[in-house]
Copies of this chain bind each other. A is one copy, B any other.
């Protein structure tokens, strides 16, 4: 069923039918009702391709997700982020166009999406240090919002982020205040901006507490479970070994936990673990006393919703000043931390 057929069936012109369906005032209310009813009955809805060719708007948003080539890994946070964004798009009538590409190759996809006029805007995932994508998107005049920030970029841009540095500083403070002096950092890849900031926060806190930074106790890799396990095993075998571990993701923290237990230590007694928690739906850390880990939590699904809303707003008003949004975080004390052992 297309517009022509529908309008013939109704004995009206295509113009009138189109106007009726799109809510223009030039159509009488009775006609509109008749048209809407007929459209529903015929299960008609306008072809997006034709419509967006005519309007010049794609009504779709591009999400280009990097796949960590080393581990062929898709960071699990993307699933929940996208779920949040998708809710917003559904309500606003937008579609989500998804591509997964080896990390570092996003730029070609952005260019292609622009050239093909396939999307009205883009969500930039996993920004890196001095990320060139921001300049590229500005040049392409493609509206975008960054999930995270990119250090060493001066031009303003819209972003949604977590206060990574402050949060990791506070988390480290929590450990030092419990008497821990040998604290390990199990970070994400530090080419990623968020991981870089987290390390700064960690180092800030160590400096405050007059503790020295030990490079052997700082790891930075893709945040798999196995990474947490292996890094922890290696560090627990040192002497002295760290008594506390600050971890970048809950999945990695599960690996840390496994290593701690394997080594015959008790979590929260012999060894403390504090982790960042993206509040993934299938992997809830729990709240209050039931929390598995002491953690700093921030819902990545909420971040997805926020970023999507910001982007749609920006598409509507491309020339307004950039907005930024810092997500809330919650500190949860669970059973995985305790005073440093003697």
Contact = CB atoms under 8 A, between A and B. Distances in A.
Interface of A: 1, 43-50, 52-53, 58, 60, 63, 67, 71-76, 78-80, 82-83, 86-87, 90, 95-101, 111-112, 115-118, 222-226, 251, 254, 257-258, 261, 280-284, 286, 292, 301
Secondary structure of the A side of the interface?
mixed
A224 B28 CA distance: 53
The 5 closest A-B pairs by CB, nearest first: A73-B281, A86-B100, A45-B115, A79-B79, A48-B116
B86 A80 contact: no
A47 B117 contact: yes
Given A258-B292, A282-B75, A67 B83 contact: yes
Given A96-B99, A225-B284, A282-B224, A112 B45 contact: yes
A52 B79 CA distance: 29
A71 B75 CA distance: 20
8 contacts: A45-B112, A74-B83, A76-B280, A96-B97, A97-B97, A98-B98, A222-B282, A226-B286
A33 to B, nearest CB: 20
Given A49-B49, A58-B49, A283-B225, A97 B99 contact: no
Copy number of this protein in the oligomer? 2
B79 A78 contact: yes
Contacts of A257: 258
Contacts of A78: 79
B83 A100 contact: yes
Contacts of A86: 98-100
Contacts of A83: 67, 74, 100
Nearest to A252: B282
B223 A282 contact: yes
A239 to B, nearest CB: 25
A72 B251 CA distance: 19
A282 B251 contact: yes
A280 B79 CA distance: 13
Q: Which of A43, A100, A111, A292 has the most CB of B within 10 A?
A: A100
Nearest to A78: B79
Contacts of A100: 82-83, 86-87, 90
B99 A118 contact: no
Contacts of A280: 76
A177 to B, nearest CB: 27
A333 B257 CA distance: 22
A284 B48 contact: no
A60 B76 CA distance: 24
A186 to B, nearest CB: 14
Contacts of A1: 115
A225 B290 CA distance: 13
Contacts of A49: 49, 52-53, 58, 117-118
A46 B292 contact: no
Contacts of A74: 79-80, 83, 281-282
A331 to B, nearest CB: 20
Contact of A116 (B47, B67, B71, B101): B47
Given A96-B97, A97-B95, A98-B96, A226 B284 contact: yes
A97 B80 CA distance: 17
